[in-house]
Structure formats: C-alpha cells, structure tokens
Chain A
C-alpha cells in the first residue's frame, strides 16, 4: 500500500514564485491535513480538510491556500513564496469515523527552500 504520497520531495524556489504541493492517500480516509515542520517548533497545522468539500485554517495559514480536489487528494499552494516558508511540509490523513482515536498517517515530507 502506498499510504500517503507527497510530491515533490524537494523544491527550491525564488522569492515571489508560486508552487503547489500535491498529496494523495489511498486509504479512503475522510480527513486530510497539511503541517509544516521547523526546527524547535514541532509540527504546526497549516490547513485541514475534515471531509471532501470542506477546508479550514489551522494555526499558521497565512501565505497558503488549499484545495480538496476529491476524497483522495489535498493540495497546498504557495501563491508568492517567501523565505519564511522554507520548511519541511507534511501531509497526513485520518479515517475520521465515530470513535476514531486520532491516529494520523503521514507522508514522507516535502522539503521546500525559498531563496
């Protein structure tokens, strides 16, 4: 099973450029998440999608947009990249059924550098 797949794994951008991080899961999960990981700060939630057709802001949404394309796919877009967005980005998913205890499944991460 592929689980959660993110592309690209590495990307270098110049300030002001735009790009989209793609995420797909093959586990028929309802909820999907985008986190960023920065040294000493753990993982911080950018946006999440509780179910197909819905998206909500997390802790650090500024500078990002998301699209829940269908149940499988959840993309993260940087419209005008800034050096402060240099980070490792993780996509995750969860079943979100009644009684779900909250185990998220993570992709391998996308390392983004903004020059």
Chain B
C-alpha cells in the first residue's frame, strides 16, 4: 500500500543552522506531496505542497522539491530559527483513495 518514510528524530540544531529532513514515498500513481507542521499543543498546519514532478513547494523559508526519479520530497531550510521548533510530517495524498498517508514525524528543536 501507500507509505511515506521519514527521517527519524529528534533533530536538535543551533539557530541559523541548515536543516534537511528526508522523506521518501511509494511511487504508486501520481500523488500530491505535502509537509505539515505541528507546533506544541496545536493541530497540524499545511507548510508546503507540490502536486507534480519537479514542482517546488515553499513557505516561511522552507522548500521541498518533488523528485519522481528518487521518490523523494526532502524538506530544507537554509537558516532555522527558534520559532521553527515543531514536529514536521511528510505526507502523500492518493486522489483515487481520497486518503492522506503520513510519515512518522520528525521532532525539530532549535536552540538559541
């Protein structure tokens, strides 16, 4: 079935460090890909998305590129801030099944 494999955490970085969180997905069909973010005590919010191969999603300084050849959608940010501390989830959407499948989540802590 559909699955998403995400880099395990937790990840701890110093402010202004570079961030990469790896994500790979099963290649069944042509899924849309997402990164959601969950701040402490809150629900999930959409961070960015890409709907087809080679699309780049971006928001709040985060970027991810839909790589069909490597079935990957890695999340990157050049300079993290303390306010970026959260749990990040990679997800794929199957249009035919109308379901969103999540990775296990990566806890990011950014220290001042």
Which residues of A are in contact with B by a Cβ distance under 8 Å?
Answer: 4, 31, 33, 35, 40-45, 48, 50, 58, 90, 92, 94, 96, 100-104, 106-109
* Total residue contacts A-B, CB cutoff 8 A: 57
* Nearest CB of chain A from residue B10's CB, rounded to whole Å: 11
Q: How far is the CA of A90 from the CA of B42 in the complex (A)?
A: 10
Say what secondary structure dominates the interface of chain B: strand
Which residue of A41, A48, A101 is within 8 Å of B51 (Cβ)?
A101
Chain B positions 79 through 103: 1 when the CB is less than 8 Å from some CB of chain A, otherwise 0: 0000000000100010100111111
* Nearest CB of chain B from residue A90's CB, rounded to whole Å: 6
Q: How far is the CA of A41 from the CA of B87 in the complex (A)?
A: 12
Which residue of A41, A42, A58, A108 is within 8 Å of B99 (Cβ)?
A58
Q: Which residues of A contact B43 (CB under 8 A)?
A: 4, 90, 106-109
Q: Which of B43, B45, B46, B49 has the most CB of A within 10 A?
A: B43
Q: Which residues of A contact B18 (CB under 8 A)?
A: none
Q: Is the pair B44, A90 in contact by a Cβ cutoff of 8 Å?
A: yes
* Nearest CB of chain B from residue A17's CB, rounded to whole Å: 25
Q: Is the pair A102, B89 in contact by a Cβ cutoff of 8 Å?
A: no
Nearest chain B residue, comparing its CB with the CB of A96: B98
Nearest chain B residue, comparing its CB with the CB of A94: B98
* Nearest CB of chain A from residue B63's CB, rounded to whole Å: 18
Query: 8 smallest A-B Cβ distances: which pairs?
Result: A102-B93, A106-B43, A42-B102, A42-B104, A43-B102, A108-B43, A106-B44, A101-B32
Q: Which residues of B contact A41 (CB under 8 A)?
A: 104
Q: Is the pair B104, A40 in contact by a Cβ cutoff of 8 Å?
A: yes
Q: Is the pair B104, A50 in contact by a Cβ cutoff of 8 Å?
A: no
